[in-house]
Amino acid sequence: MSGLRVWAVPGIPEVREGDDLAKLIAAAGPGLVDGDIVLVTSKIVSKAEGRLVRAADREAAIDAETVRVVARRGTLRIVENRQGLVMAAAGVDASNTPAGTVLLLPEDPDASAEAVRAGLRDALGVEVGVIVTDTFGRPWRTGLTDIAIGAAGVRVLEDLRGGTDAYGNPLSATVVATADELAGAGDLVKGKAGGLPVAVVRGLGDAVVAGPGGSARELVRGARDDMFRLGTSEAVREAVTQRRTVRAFTDEPVDPGAVRRAVAAAVTAPAPHHTTPWRFVLLESEGARVRLLDAMRDAWIEDLRRDGRSEESIARRVRRGDVLRDAPYLVVPCLVMDGSHTYGDARRDAAEREMFVVAAGAGVQNFLVALAGERLGSAWVSSTMFCREVVREVLDLPAGWDPMGAVAVGHPDGVPAERPARVVSEFVEVR
């Protein structure tokens, strides 16, 4: 590493569609040797591959390259593009291109890097690594730098986990983004406006590997591990639209802290007269859950027998309540009428209660959405509303607490089924 050297390659002409980048680089006389790493700006790769397209409307071009919107502020969009990269404007570039055109990123930057690498091997007889770079903004950091969006023959990540530092401390989370560090080093000598689209790094031969090497896609954090996958408003919208009723759960325990965070979201719901009409009873022990569900089952069976149902029909109906019994965690939301007004008029008193019931529903909706944000599944079941006295007795609740169903909570066992598409206009009337 002490002999590391980085330099830009002058003499690369203006690149046009169909040009052979490897031949253009070789002709510039970069003096390559085995183990060098060649850094190629994505812009000239895109030009050579014919990714310059006519687009009078840049926004339409961004739409076409976008898989999902991560965050939006005014006209600025951070999106995931078709290459799997999360970046501003999907990487669509309108600078240094003829009027009425935009430049798209290479279709497959890894394949582009491999083509340049193979071409340099053929032209110069050298075994080098190649990285395709692009300019990138980063969360939490001001300013732009270059990152690797394509790679061939390069170890893109150096996994130091399992080793120790200089003091003998174990390294448990250190994975170095070598390809990105190389891209940033190349940007220092290429510059953003110097007309030098290619750079070479020498002295890091250990990062060059035989065969195709690593893929730049390894540098993209997977959705499961990405704690910042969405912007704030998009995260809220995603949690609302992706919330599903989950009826099958794994045995994985539920974090009580996650449920309490969801309750904190629930109690921000609107309520009449500045009241707080919600209470959430958390059934964290198996014993509490079994006692409640057994008592509710007995009360339900008694009701069904009074209705004249057959024993077969009763057994079938009782089985439908298994979603609560199978869940590792139960929550019973309750309505309290503290702070409500009494008017002495049946119509107005009924409307007063309706306001509180609506507020309770808003609180439960907040709760369910927040659980989804914690990656917990839930099912809101109305059963406790049909045996409120039983629930109050088993859970030792005050007489004024009205159970508003029960929420089964747990880690989903599988992916919930897609919700059928709903046309918004069918639910809207405009006056």
Percent helix / strand / coil, the chain, rounded to 5: 40, 20, 40
In sequence order, the 6+-apart residues with CB closer than 8 A to the CB of 81 are 65, 66, 67, 87, 90, 91, 105
**What pLDDT does 95 receive?**
78
* Tokens 């075994």 -> residue: 127
- Rounded to whole angstroms, the Cα distance separating 244 from 331 reads 17
pLDDT, the chain, mean = 90
Over residues 187-220, the pLDDT tens digits come to: 999 987 678 999 999 999 889 998 767 789 889 8
**What pLDDT does 321 receive?**
62
CA 186 from centre of chain: 31
Average confidence (pLDDT) over 302-318: 86
Over residues 151-186, the pLDDT tens digits come to: 999 999 988 877 877 788 887 778 889 999 999 999
Residues 199-229 as b/e (b if ≥16 CB within 10 A, e otherwise) read: bbbbebeebbeeebbbbbebbeeeeeeeeeb
245: phi > 0 → left, psi -120 to 50 → alpha, else beta; which? beta
Over residues 65-85, the pLDDT tens digits come to: 999 888 887 778 889 999 989
Reported as a pLDDT band with limits 50, 70 and 90, residue 130 is very high
**What pLDDT does 6 receive?**
96
Residue of 145 and 73 predicted with greater confidence: 145
Reported as a pLDDT band with limits 50, 70 and 90, residue 59 is confident
Pull the structure tokens for residue 11.
């003499």
Q: Which of 370, 377, 364, 368 is nearest to 248 (CA)?
A: 377
Over residues 381-398, the pLDDT tens digits come to: 998 898 999 999 999 999
Reported as a pLDDT band with limits 50, 70 and 90, residue 277 is very high
**What pLDDT does 156 receive?**
92
Residue of 319 and 259 predicted with greater confidence: 259
Q: Rg of the chain's alpha carbons, rounded to an integer?
A: 31
* Tokens 């980063």 -> residue: 138
Pairing outcome for strands 278-283 and 5-8: unpaired
- Rounded to whole angstroms, the Cα distance separating 47 from 139 reads 29
Reported as a pLDDT band with limits 50, 70 and 90, residue 43 is very high
- Rounded to whole angstroms, the Cα distance separating 327 from 409 reads 6
Pull the structure tokens for residue 223.
């959705």
DSSP letter string, 217-233? GGGSPPGGG-TT-S-HH
Reported as a pLDDT band with limits 50, 70 and 90, residue 2 is low
Q: Which of 60, 334, 73, 34 is nearest to 206 (CA)?
A: 34
Average confidence (pLDDT) over 280-299: 94
Over residues 331-344, the pLDDT tens digits come to: 999 999 999 999 98
Cβ atoms of residues 149 and 132 within 8 Å: yes
Pull the structure tokens for residue 2.
């002490």
Cβ atoms of residues 407 and 368 within 8 Å: yes
Reported as a pLDDT band with limits 50, 70 and 90, residue 431 is very high
pTM over 0.75: no
- Domains within the chain, CATH numbers bracketed: 5-51+106-225 (3.30.1330.100), 245-427 (3.40.109.10)
**What pLDDT does 243 receive?**
82
Asked whether the predicted pLDDT for residue 112 surpasses 90, the reply is yes
In sequence order, the 6+-apart residues with CB closer than 8 A to the CB of 216 are 109, 110, 113, 131, 132, 148, 149, 150, 151, 156, 179
Q: In the chain, what percentage of residues exceed pLDDT 90?
A: 61
